[in-house]
């Protein structure tokens, strides 16, 4: 209908193709990391991000561009939750076997166990000196991934996606109070983990 | 850790996460770019559709879609409706008939009190509800 298209082009606050493209380009990597923290599988994380981007592009292209971040976060989290649900159904069949086989192979992995001491003289220095930057980054990512799901979501939305408390609450579908609690717990948990590993920021 | 310290710590973590995100492996970055291109290829410029809640379009669509494309099916549905209304009308007509038949039966089997026939108000007695 031509009239509708006319209205649409007049309503400049709606997200245009370019705005959507720019938005996706800006968030895709963070979204991938976020999915990675949640599912810890490269392929699954890529699939999740692709699904989320597809849904946003297909169904919500008519929404104002200011709403895109919140919408995208909601879609992304729902997609991650769908993945969990499917995994749960699948694991109902596979757990009895895989728990016997893979338990030891996929056990807890501490990055400090794999660190090598480069020379004797540095042996007494605190661990951070021995840690390379990339290893610190990897350790932090791992610690974030280990957080309970809701705490991680709250932490990422509030501090990484830089949403305010009410936006994060909307994206997570919970109260503002819960967001604050989750954030605070996540921050304390991260601080404690890094302290244990001897990493100071 | 007070709130200010929490905030500072969280910002430091966020900065580090940003750093590692910037250094994402090239193959993954390429796959993400591909995924974005595919998603944008599905960009849909149909605002009229999207204003309706998704479940409503889906539900209505699911109910009406099978019939909208098949003329035969809709003709069949119409015929079925006609048959049903005809049957209901016939049922009602039969019910009226059976009321009269019951009255006749009572008259013929002498179940009426004899005075009823002498009563001037017999007619109204017969028509009582």
Q: Give the pLDDT band (50/70/90) at residue A75.
A: very high
Q: Does the pLDDT value for residue A128 go beyond 70?
A: no
Is the CB of residue B11 less than 8 Å away from at least one CB of chain A?
yes
Contact A4 B48 (CB under 8 A): yes
Candidate from A4-13, A133-142, A185-194 with smallest mean pLDDT? A4-13
Phi, psi of A14 (to 5 degrees): -70, 150
Q: What is the pTM of this model?
A: 0.61
Q: What is the pLDDT of residues A142-153, one digit of tens each?
A: 999 999 999 999
Query: What residue spans define the domains of chain B?
Result: 1-44, 66-129
Helix runs in chain B, H state only: 3-22, 26-41, 47-51, 54-68, 71-108, 115-118, 122-126
Short-list A123, A135, A151, CA closest to A194: A135
Of B23, B39, B45, the CB nearest to A53: B39
Alpha-carbon dihedral sign for residues A123, A128, A129, A133:
positive
Identify whether the C-beta of residue A179 lies closer than 8 Å to the C-beta of residue A169. Answer: yes
The pLDDT value recorded for residue B49 is 47
Nearest CB neighbour to A46, from listed B14, B35, B47 = B35
Q: Does A141 touch chain B (CB under 8 A)?
A: yes
């Amino acid at each position: 209908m031509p009239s509708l298209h006319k209205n649409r082009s007049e309503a400049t606050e709606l997200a245009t193709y370019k705005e959507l493209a720019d938005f996706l380009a800006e968030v895709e990597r963070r979204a991938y990391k976020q999915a990675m923290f949640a599912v810890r599988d490269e392929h699954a994380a890529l699939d999740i991000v692709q699904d989320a981007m597809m849904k946003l592009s297909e169904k919500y292209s008519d929404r104002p561009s200011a709403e895109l971040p919140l919408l995208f976060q909601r879609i992304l989290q729902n997609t991650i939750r769908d993945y969990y649900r499917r995994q749960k159904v699948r694991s109902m069949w596979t757990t009895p076997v895989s728990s016997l086989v893979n338990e030891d192979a996929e056990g807890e992995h501490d990055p400090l166990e794999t660190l090598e001491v480069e020379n004797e003289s540095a042996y007494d220095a605190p661990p951070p000196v021995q840690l390379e930057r990339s290893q610190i980054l990897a350790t932090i990512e791992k610690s974030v991934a280990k957080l309970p799901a809701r705490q991680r979501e709250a932490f990422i939305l509030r501090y990484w996606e830089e949403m305010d408390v009410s936006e994060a609450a909307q994206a997570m579908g919970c109260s503002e109070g819960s967001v604050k609690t989750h954030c605070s717990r996540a921050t304390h948990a991260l601080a404690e983990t890094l302290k244990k590993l001897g990493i100071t920021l | 850790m007070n709130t200010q310290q929490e905030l500072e710590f969280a910002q430091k973590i966020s900065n580090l996460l940003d750093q590692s995100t910037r250094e994402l492996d090239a193959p993954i970055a390429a796959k993400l770019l591909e995924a974005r291109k595919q998603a944008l290829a599905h960009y849909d410029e149909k605002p009229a559709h999207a204003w309706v809640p998704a479940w409503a379009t889906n539900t209505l669509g699911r109910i009406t879609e099978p019939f909208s494309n098949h003329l035969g099916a809709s003709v069949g549905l119409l015929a079925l409706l006609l048959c049903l209304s005809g049957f209901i009308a016939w049922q009602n007509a039969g019910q009226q008939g059976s009321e009269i038949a019951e009255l006749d039966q009572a008259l013929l089997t002498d179940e009426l009190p004899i005075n009823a026939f002498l009563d001037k108000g017999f007619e109204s007695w017969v028509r009582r509800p």
